[in-house]
Amino acid sequence: MSKKHNASLHLTLRPSRRLKWLLGFTHLFAMLACLSSFLPIINQFVLFLVLLVHFKVALRRLKNDSYAINYTQVSGWEIAKNDGFVAVGILPTTVVTRCAVFLHIEIQGVDAHIPKTLAFVRRKNRESILILADMLSDEAYRGFVVTLKTAAIKSGRRPMVADKI
């Protein structure tokens, strides 16, 4: 007997504690490096303040950005950032590991709600989203990875998988 399942996935990503800690440690080490350098005191102080402001801005961005991901076999992948959903295609450069998914997407419609940061660096209508395992429950993360892999296999665009990491 073959059963057809209408696989659907509805996820809301929460802020990652691991990413906050990583951001904190890297900024702390950078600030200590500024203070221990042989630069003049005023330059050390200015660099220290710039790093402190950047840390505050990065933390605020982490708290305010909320993504939602939907997948159905009928409509495909959809991603919302802070408001309405937009259809996206998952690119084969997406990397899947046990602790993170480096999701590379191509926006397939109007992308007015996704800001065009560094437009000169990124390609038109493409974006990368880092999804750490602690942004979802264990079960939801496994379901996301499985759905990502099976949808990619069906479409013929297999993501890179790093199982040994």
Q: Which two tokens stand for residue 6?
A: 């209408």
Answer whether residue 87 is part of any domain.
yes
For the CA atoms of the chain, what is the radius of gyration?
19
Whether residues 52 and 128 share a domain: the answer is no
d(CA 107, CA 124): 9
Domain count, the chain: 2
So what's the pLDDT on residue 123? 55
Task: Examine the domain organization and report whether 84 and 124 are in the same domain.
Answer: yes
Measured in degrees and rounded to the nearest 5, phi and psi for residue 8 equal -135, 150
| 20 domain-assigned | yes
Q: Supply the pLDDT for residue 41.
A: 93
Q: What is the pLDDT of residue 163?
A: 58
The predicted model scores a pTM of 0.74
Q: Which of 85, 83, 65 is nearest to 75 (CA)?
A: 85
Containing structural domain, residue 88: 66-161
Do 105 and 54 lie in a common domain? no
Token pair listed for 80:
């919302």
The residue among 113, 63, 118, 119 whose CA lies nearest residue 88 is 113
Confidence (pLDDT) at 2:
41
Q: What is the DSSP letter of 121?
A: T
Report the candidate in 36, 13, 7 with the shortest Cα–Cα distance to residue 132. Answer: 13
Is the domain of 50 the same as that of 37?
Answer: yes
Angle 89-71-120 from CA coordinates, rounded to 5°: 30
Is there a single domain that holds both residue 154 and residue 78? yes
What distance separates the 2 farthest-apart alpha carbons in the chain? 76
Low-confidence ranges of the chain (pLDDT < 50): 1-4, 111-114, 118-122, 164-165
Chain centroid offset of residue 5 CA: 28
Same domain flag for 81 and 47? no
Residue 165 to residues 3, 23, 68, 78, 161, Cα–Cα distance (Å): 35, 21, 27, 28, 10
Together in a domain, 113 and 139? yes
70 and 149 inside one domain: yes
Query: What is the rounded CA–CA span in Å between residue 107 and residue 164?
Result: 30
- Cα dist. 124→11, 34, 108 in Å? 26, 36, 11
